[in-house]
Amino acid sequence: MYTLGIDIGSTTSKCAILDDGAELVGYSLEIGGLGTDGPATAIAKLWESCGLTASDIARTTVTGYGRMKFEGADDEASELTCHALGGRYVYPQLRTVIDIGGQDAKVISLSEDGRMSNFVMNDKCAAGTGRFLDVMANILKMDVNDFGACAAASTEEVSISSTCTVFAESEVISQLANGVKREDLVAGICNSVAVRVAALARRAGVKELVCMSGGVAKNEAVRRALEKSLEVDIAFDPRAQYFGAIGAALYSYNKLMKQKR
């Protein structure tokens, strides 16, 4: 029995299919979230990659920033619920999820039995989210995907003192004009995001096992800086950006199981 999870974010759309709530049979991603053709394209890509069609799906859950506007799912579930479920699917011992997406960041605490016990989020300020990194990549004329490798070459990390994205943008422009090396700036930019998210995490409470979810999990420099700031190991799975979609597919499966009982 296949269930589908769709996570419509602010910048990307992700889909995942689970078989009997266990095997991940397919997943897909398309740039473009709410208000774009991203969700439809991500779904089309999914059918193509796993050879299934809509008629094979027993139940669908939509989550994410764009979930309210999506028609065609049986259920909708909050991002908090889905990231917690998706994280726990990959790490059964999970107690803390640090989710950094394109426009917000959330820290979710789980009890031993996997229930959400607390959360703290920042959806008001771009600093401490993927948006900050995307803006900086644009100034530096870089691809944000290369930030991790670039920061790893830093020898003298530059501290970004501005707490506001707009001011930080000017700060980076003037540092560049002063001849500061790109890798040192990128290391400072990634650290600045990590410091903000670490403050959120401390408010939520950090218990191990800790993992990251969301697209920024792929940025190794942010991950390492978070580990340093929080003094914990942070688990990383290459499917971290899909945790919301995986959790949504699991949510559908759990609903079906409840109905059967």
Q: Which residues bind ligand ADP (CB under 6 A)?
A: 9-12, 33, 64, 101-103, 130, 133-134, 144-145, 147, 214-216, 218-219, 241
Q: CB of 165 within 8 A of CB of 127?
A: yes
Smallest distance, Å, CB 67 to ligand ADP? 11
Distance (Å, whole) CA 46 – CA 212: 24
Q: Based on CB atoms, which residue is closest to ligand ADP, 19 or 148? A: 148
Q: Based on CB atoms, which residue is closest to ligand ADP, 41 or 256? A: 41
Q: Can you tell me which residue has the tokens 């991203």?
A: 38
Smallest distance, Å, CB 247 to ligand ADP? 12
Smallest distance, Å, CB 33 to ligand ADP? 5
Cβ neighbours, 10 Å, residue 19: 16
Provide the token pair at 249.
Answer: 């597919």
Amino acid letter for position 127: A
C-alpha neighbours within 13 Å on the C-beta side of residue 53: 1
Q: Based on CB atoms, which residue is closest to ligand ADP, 87 or 214? A: 214
* Burial state string for 197-230 with b = 16 or more CB within 10 A and e = fewer than 16: bbebbeebebeebbbbbbbbbbbebbbbbbbebb
Q: Based on CB atoms, which residue is closest to ligand ADP, 111 or 244? A: 244
Smallest distance, Å, CB 216 to ligand ADP? 5
Q: Based on CB atoms, which residue is closest to ligand ADP, 19 or 76? A: 76
Smallest distance, Å, CB 12 to ligand ADP? 4
